[in-house]
Structure 1
């Protein structure tokens, strides 16, 4: 499978029109383009580089992200090039195990965590973008953004020929998915808040093995080495034939000291890795940051991924947060284009996503500050606490901020509101699959017991019809026309959360849950209130004919 991507579409001189233009074709821009194209929108992506980057940067996937790839029809292909991350072990310099941590959340129908080699991942997403009709223009640099009440104009120029004439893309909306140094963000004058993480440089080494099947007992999975002399991370499986190491700069080491092959081999030798085992595919020195843009939308222009937020990589949530951005914004843009909502719905994008990502930035900074201790006494106290089992309980992944979700202060609000809905294996007739595979993305009511139609009044029935709500009855029982809860995971989720039904948004997040199916009508009334408040305008929403 090629790791590169030549120009797919030529952009002619003059004006080219589309629904949505995206600047930046990394994994976040790719995923957003695929989701929008899947929704039937005409999407153009411009990328300043002539080919996709041939080396890995991010590598962590979680179950929620795999569920997004499942929606795009590529999860099984990605599963072949990724490897489950079974555990993250905190160890001393002598490899004494102090603690084991699992990151991410299960419940999405996949393993909680995976590791992959980014070029292989991008090749699969890129292929899907093209299959869905997205137009990808490589080697084109964005130079100017302007907008008015009717649309956005993006001026671009061939990167390799600065003397060439410019081209113009006219779009209804534009998304800046162009990384931490975002041209789009800078052009709009959007400020970023520095959230205070500071650390030394980190040398990252991606290593390709000559024999991928070779056993490395010194590196069974993923080690975070809590060595005050040099904090480091080592991961055996970054896809099928790759490993990754990250070494913290110490003392008076400079970037130049770290960024040379001799240094890399000396550091790898401490792990028993020599040129006999393989080759260094990439070495790079990073200085991680934690930032959050104060505005993610100005008019018809949006920021996404690293253009909107950056975080240290110690929870592996940077790229995944960008994918969540893409999922959140794509279904709302699709609703606006379909005439179901006014543009004010798009204000809920930042309102929902920014608090979520800020909580993950804070958690990532906390993990980083613990892992990177170089003061020997503070490190000793940390290690002693870990030996006593005093590992802080990881906080539950944050919920969405205010938007199309039951407010935290509303009567009946529960912990599962504003979080990803569960997905597990079910059977319908003789077919067995993950539940989403039976459904068309949209509003879905999932219940432990059948929900009688007579519960709803005329207004609520009109709402169900206009939103095209799908009813899903999942049960361990032998019930005609119901989905069989093959592994009992839905039944367990309902019992653990004290719920009997939940209303699932088009992006797979829970709007709200209820402890009895008799309370579903009241939940629908609350949904109408939230939709109307945020610009849902489908004619006669929830009003009886």
Structure 2
């Protein structure tokens, strides 16, 4: 990470050094994009916030190359149990599959993970972090955005002007793109004129974080107690979090009343007076989504674009999804490999899913915080009855109710017509491979799986993304995808930096390595677990175009590689 200088031109200005801004800066740094990350505060936030980390986010952390420094601050397989007022389990989330290479749910300590993200920027001389820099103005032209930053010391809230008695200065930075990741009070969102659609329920919650966990049980308990809904969470490094809903007649400053807080904790620990408290804070849930994520070269992401209620633990994770979707598109634009309209696909792909996660989180909150005892009794009875049905129990246990991202508009190729920009959810073509398939759900617009695989030069199995590399990949089952592209398209794929992968059963790997021409942009992947074969067996496709964010852009039969790639270039607005 470069020291701050007076440089006034940069590819990307990121506003806000929270987890989303830090993630975006790391990804862009890895793609070779120059970045100035401006943060109004004097340092990173050091108090606990998010506590739930999804496998999708872990995959992004893998792409950032930061698994090892982050892993010590996480607990895998974080089981969530919803219990009623008597402590009876109504339902539990305990997903056991690992489709993307990691446990589905993790507990984590956000300040320590954020710090690992921040320290990861030291790897990039072309990434600079500037603290005590508050965005106060934007002016956009055809090819640049000029940002005015107020420079000066301020308190850790970071949302107000400089501290009294100081003399702030201003700094102007010209950037090709500006991304606002500065949270719910985002200046950037207000500059866009975006409407923050949704609601902020009136209920308030008191958060209590303590060290030396006095309970010590792992996992998460969501207490659907009509007397007082609560949350109890076991976290890494012996941290315990409680959240208690405040009644309307209880003031927000009750968090400062030791007797009141001890009363809330009495049913949970033998001696609440001896707890080592990290913080006590009152907050209100918000469920809002901006009606646009972008105007011209100015974009918003994370809490600046959507505010998530805490119930599904999706605030942190949705923000990382934004950064992962956006980073490769900005990198493509800075390389001159697409037109500016590519940014329209960020809004099209991310906003709908963000809204779905907000809606689910609000629904979960309403389920848990029900205070009408009669309604709660019906809820408990119905939940218990449904939980006795194995299929329904599995539906909740494996979290199949959680809406996974499926993009239907964007950098996609329709699996039936091969038309660019859209993708049907079903494959309905009049071909025998389709007609004989048991599953015709299209993989286009969803994430590709990530099992462990065998690759020459590695002593043991590695994760698939590490074999494919950080950029585009064309992966074919049992085939060299280079042989299915027209010569001019093969050249274009190489101009775009795509990597070619031949996936074969492990028994076939020596043959494929000898049969196909070796190259730096080609890899033979041995499917020693059979997971990739099962994926291809289950779908009437044999060749996939995998985006840098690991979503499938196109999925076809091998013979259709060239027409699919032409459509993909159209969807990408390629200018090569």
TM-score (norm 2): 0.84
Task: Indicate conservation of the 8 Å contact 1:427/1:483, yes or no.
Answer: yes
Cα distance in 2 for residues equivalent to 1:230 and 1:415: 45
Task: Indicate conservation of the 8 Å contact 1:360/1:398, yes or no.
Answer: no
Aligned length in residues: 519
- Equivalent in the alignment of 1:180: 184
Cα distance in 2 for residues equivalent to 1:169 and 1:477: 52
Q: Alignment partner of 1:389: what SS?
A: helix
Gaps of 5+ in 1: 1-6, 539-545
Moved over 6 A (4+): none
Task: Verify: 1:78 aligned to 2:70, yes or no.
Answer: yes
Gaps of 5+ in 2: 154-161, 414-421, 429-440, 514-523
- Equivalent in the alignment of 1:494: 536
Offset at residue 401 of structure 1 (A): 4.2
Cα distance in 2 for residues equivalent to 1:317 and 1:253: 28
- Equivalent in the alignment of 2:15: 23
Relative distance call for 1:411 and 1:524 in structure 2 (3 A) is: farther
Task: Indicate conservation of the 8 Å contact 1:203/1:247, yes or no.
Answer: yes
- Equivalent in the alignment of 1:513: 555
Cα distance in 2 for residues equivalent to 1:311 and 1:105: 25
Task: Verify: 1:371 aligned to 2:368, yes or no.
Answer: yes
Task: Verify: 1:334 aligned to 2:361, yes or no.
Answer: no
Task: Indicate conservation of the 8 Å contact 1:87/1:222, yes or no.
Answer: yes
Give runs of aligned pairs for residues 5-404 of structure 1, distance below 5 A: 9-10=3-4, 12=6, 16-102=8-94, 106-133=98-125, 134-160=127-153, 161=162, 163-194=167-198, 196=199, 198-209=201-212, 216=216, 219-236=217-234, 238-272=235-269, 274=271, 278-390=275-387, 394-404=401-411
Task: Verify: 1:504 aligned to 2:546, yes or no.
Answer: yes
Cα distance in 2 for residues equivalent to 1:297 and 1:200: 31
Relative distance call for 1:259 and 1:513 in structure 2 (3 A) is: farther
- Equivalent in the alignment of 1:4: none
Q: Alignment partner of 1:181: what SS?
A: coil
Offset at residue 104 of structure 1 (A): 11
Cα distance in 1 for residues equivalent to 2:353 and 2:119: 30
Offset at residue 431 of structure 1 (A): 3.5
Offset at residue 497 of structure 1 (A): 4.4
Q: Alignment partner of 1:529: what SS?
A: helix
Relative distance call for 1:252 and 1:46 in structure 2 (3 A) is: same
Offset at residue 287 of structure 1 (A): 0.8
- Equivalent in the alignment of 2:445: 418
Offset at residue 380 of structure 1 (A): 0.9
Cα distance in 1 for residues equivalent to 2:218 and 2:355: 32
Q: Deviations over 1:226-252 (max 9, x none)?
A: 10111111111x222211111111242
- Equivalent in the alignment of 1:525: 563
Cα distance in 1 for residues equivalent to 2:189 and 2:324: 20
Q: Deviations over 1:362-403 (max 9, x none)?
A: 111111111111111111111111111256661441312411
Higher mean displacement: 20-29 or 433-442: 433-442
Cα distance in 1 for residues equivalent to 2:215 and 2:230: 21
Over the aligned positions, Cα root-mean-square deviation in angstroms equals 2.5
Cα distance in 2 for residues equivalent to 1:333 and 1:352: 15
Cα distance in 1 for residues equivalent to 2:317 and 2:211: 24
